[in-house]
Amino acid sequence: MVVGAYSVNVKDNEVISRIRDVGRFVGIAFQVRDDVIDYLNIDSRNPGGVNTDEINIVRIMSKGNGDVRSAIDKARGGLLNEMLDNAVKVVREVVNNEVLVNYINLLRI
């Protein structure tokens, strides 16, 4: 995200910092989404389900009580949406680009 900002000659350090935040929020959201999709096995292009040797957000969130369903719901409904909402908020504040907002919202499941 930052490289893209620099490539269009953004010089304002505050804007660069906010764009960096968008990248962080979207990156975390993408990883949470990927982990949840693996557990739910809902991506026909990525079959196979969960590798029990991998550490992922669902496994981390269910470690205390072993409740995978609850961990999936928290990751999907809480963490994923929180990160995407944060990214959308910053995009609207900094660049006000609804096309980018629409792309970010495609990560919701």
pLDDT per residue over 67-78, tens digit each? 888 888 889 889
Q: State which residues form the domain around 81.
A: 2-105
At residue 53 the predicted structure's pLDDT band, cuts being 50, 70 and 90, is low
User: What tokens appear for 32 in the block?
Assistant: 């949470």
Burial class (CB in 10 A: 0-12, 13-18, 19+), 30: middle
> Identity (one letter) of the amino acid at 36?
V
pLDDT tens figures, 5-20:
999 999 999 999 999 9
pLDDT tens figures, 82-105:
999 999 999 999 999 999 999 999
In the chain, the number of structural domains is 1
pTM to 2 decimals? 0.83
